[in-house]
Amino acid sequence: MNQTIPITRRKSKKIYVKNVPVGGNSPISVQSMTNTCTTDIESTIKQINQLKKAGAEIIRISIPTLEAAQAFKIIKKQVTIPIVADIHFDYRIALKSAEYGADCLRINPGNIGNLKRIKSVISIAKEKKIPIRIGVNSGSLEKDIQEKYGIQNPRALFESAMRHVNILDKLNFSNFKVSVKSSDVLTCIKAYQLLASSIEQPLHLGITESGSIMNGTVKSAIGIGLLLYLGIGDTLRVSLASDPINEVKIGFHILQALNIRKRGINFIACPTCARQEFDVINVINTLESRLDDITTPMDVSIIGCMVNGIGEAKKADIGISGYRNKSIVYENGIVALANSLYVQKELPDVYVLEFPIDYSITIECKNYGIWVLCFDMKDLKKEGIGNFSK
């Protein structure tokens, strides 16, 4: 129910990674990358499908060898989601990946050999009508740029990117996007700002090598989030030393926090204190886990007491607020009818759900109406959760 405050996006050229538009006024897409061994075909396909189910819209696969390229040929035939082939150094792998159906090539034109080799890669990209991502990382900058600027310097990332952009421009190739990633958040932000003001190509956002799920989430939320707020960015990947499914979830959480894209449930929950009338932490953990597969956008507020609970509940699609050892339930800001509810005289505009103070609401508690109250019936059926009745 929260109203969106519009963000003015930078105008960029639109390209396509298979059927997913990137740039222009297209939705900001969420990407991830497999961490399986690409030659383990079965595991790689399984992870691709898991990432797709989690919401990934583009998936990148590392192809470090010609043997991996042969495995990619088999993998590509068995998946439907757009696949980016990640290639370094060996232009022959790029040629094979394009031949075998890659929907995009991630390369640095400057590290795959001489101009003749670069031209051959650009030629097959043109023939197959697939884009290229110029992916610059602070950890693999050209030696002369490192000597000039050092590693953690935004101008180093920018200059490296522009060097590669100029190569493609000279070859009359404009079907590309660019990233300038660093593990340092401020370096990354400034590098993207420099790039955004210099080219019209779509930008792929990310904080590279950001760390574990906790550290990486914080870095990515700040870095990617600030750039998005400034209107910069057309697609993103949250890079984590974790299960890549978490990258997808956190990517959507970042977009959702800025009201850019909505997917699944946005939980609003208090940190709890002595005023809580029910076990908020247990409730939120249970609901997050059990409702993880829901994609229908929805705001659910779970507040332990009436200080802020009623106000938050009225703003959410579903709101549960503690009230005098009871729980007040709102749906779309108004009364929610369900079993075990009765009118509270002091608050005639709401219904109150009674349960013992030490009882934790869980998603299984149909007796207390939580199944019905949390989601619209048509959304429940659409998501395939089960059969319910009031």
The 3 state secondary structure assigned to 68-137 is HHHHHHHHHHCCCCCEEEECCCCHHHHHHHHHCCCCEEEECHHHCCCHHHHHHHHHHHHHHCCCEEEEEE
Give the fold, CATH level 3, of 265-382: Sulfite Reductase Hemoprotein; domain 1 (3.30.413)
pLDDT at position 374? 34
pLDDT band at 37 (very low <50, low <70, confident <90, very high): very high
Backbone angles phi, psi at 138, to 5 degrees: -65, -25
pLDDT at position 287? 77
pLDDT at position 62? 97
Q: Is the pLDDT of residue 237 over 90?
A: yes
Beta strands in the chain (DSSP E): 15-17, 20-22, 29-33, 58-62, 83-86, 104-107, 132-137, 176-181, 204-205, 235-237, 265-269, 298-303, 318-323, 326-331, 334-335, 341-344, 347-354
* Tens-place pLDDT, residues 186-219: 999 999 999 999 999 999 999 998 889 999 999 9
What is the average pLDDT value for the chain, to the nearest integer? 82
pLDDT at position 4? 60
By DSSP bridging, strand 20-22 and strand 204-205 are unpaired
* Tens-place pLDDT, residues 294-328: 888 888 888 888 777 777 777 887 777 776 555 55
State the Cα–Cα distance between residues 320 and 332, nearest whole angstrom.
12
* Tens-place pLDDT, residues 128-143: 999 999 999 988 888 8
State the Cα–Cα distance between residues 204 and 178, nearest whole angstrom.
6
Give the fold, CATH level 3, of 15-257: TIM Barrel (3.20.20)
pLDDT band at 337 (very low <50, low <70, confident <90, very high): very low
**Percentage above 70 pLDDT, the chain:** 81
pLDDT band at 386 (very low <50, low <70, confident <90, very high): very low
Which segment of 45-59, 151-165, 314-328, 372-386 scores lowest on mean pLDDT? 372-386
Instruction: Report pTM.
Output: 0.84
Per the CB < 8 A criterion, the answer to whether 239 and 139 are in contact is no
Per the CB < 8 A criterion, the answer to whether 111 and 83 are in contact is no
What is the CB-side half-sphere exposure of residue 51 using CA atoms within 13 A?
30
pLDDT at position 331? 58
Q: Which residue in 294, 346, 291, 336 sits closest to 313, CA to CA?
A: 336
- What is the location of CATH 3.30.413.10 in the chain? 265-382
Per the CB < 8 A criterion, the answer to whether 176 and 168 are in contact is yes
Which segment of 36-45, 179-188, 200-209, 341-350 scores lowest on mean pLDDT? 341-350
Q: Is the pLDDT of residue 236 over 60?
A: yes
What one-letter code names the amino acid at 233?
Answer: G
State the Cα–Cα distance between residues 276 and 144, nearest whole angstrom.
60
The residue that leads in pLDDT, 304 or 26, is 26
- What is the location of CATH 3.20.20.20 in the chain? 15-257
The residue that leads in pLDDT, 13 or 365, is 13
pLDDT at position 327? 56
Per the CB < 8 A criterion, the answer to whether 250 and 236 are in contact is no
